[in-house]
Amino acid sequence: MDFLPAAIEAYALAHTSAESPLLAQLNRETHAKVLQSRMLSGHLQGRLLALFSTILRPRRILEIGTYTGYSALCLAEGLTDEGLLITIDINEELEAFTRSFFERSPLGHKIDFRIANAATLIPTLDETFDLVFIDADKLNYGLYYDLVFDKVRPGGVIIADNVLWSGKIVQTGRKIDKDTQALLDFNQKLHHDPRVSNVLLPVRDGLMIVWKH
């Protein structure tokens, strides 16, 4: 994920609004106590997600892939007063850890955290979403996109994380693994979808930003 020189990344962070004390604690505890802590969105990406949400002022947000809840708390910052964020994760082992941070947040009452298989749950959601964040198993990115698309309002935004996959999507001379191929297919699928406009931002591990026409 380290595409930028360390000095440039440090400068960018130094000139980005600070994360809240609760988010800073979640950041520290995730790295100290949870496996695969690199999955955390982190300070810079978290502030970008919060900014997108604040600009959109969504009434409904769907997040696919909760992990320890950092991105959910960032996205919830922009919700309207009556807004709700539904976040789905299949990993029961992190549920207590994640819920403890939601409960400590003043935004916790706006977060509906569900342990479920997203592919099974999404079709049952009777909601229209203003913003969707996809950050789950890479093999199903295309499926999640198809499942949520008709539930996103015109003018809504879909964001997908990890679309650069630590640079593997441009590596040559090596066998392509299933996750990398899934992301290559996903990026192509979105780029050629006439129903949307898209920008791939090389922030952290790559964010695909899609605006639904």
Please report, in tens digits, the pLDDT of each residue of the chain (213 residues total): 677 788 998 999 999 999 999 999 999 999 999 878 777 889 999 999 999 999 999 999 999 999 999 999 999 999 999 999 999 999 999 999 999 999 999 999 999 999 999 999 999 999 999 999 999 999 999 999 999 999 999 999 999 999 999 989 998 777 889 999 999 999 999 999 999 999 999 998 999 999 999
**pTM for this one?**
0.96
pLDDT given for residue 175 in this prediction: 85
User: Domain total for the chain?
Assistant: 1
Helix (H, G, I), strand (E, B) or coil at 191: helix
18, 92, 100 from 104: Cα distances, Å:
19, 20, 6
Quick one: which of 14, 13, 79 has its CA closest to 46?
13
In a domain, 59, yes or no: yes
Residues 6+ apart with CB under 8 A from 204: 1, 41, 42, 44, 45
The CA distance from 134 to 126, in Å, is: 18
User: Which contiguous run of DSSP H or E holds residue 161?
Assistant: strand 152-161
In a domain, 208, yes or no: yes
In a domain, 85, yes or no: yes
Q: What is the dihedral of CA 102, 104, 108, 113, to 10 degrees?
A: 20
Residue pointed to by tokens 């505890």: 29
Residues 6+ apart with CB under 8 A from 91: 67, 115
CATH number of the domain enclosing 108? 3.40.50.150
Query: Angle, nearest 10°, between helix axes 21-33 and 95-104?
Result: 170
Domain that holds residue 128: 6-212
In a domain, 1, yes or no: no
Q: Which amino acid, 125?
A: L
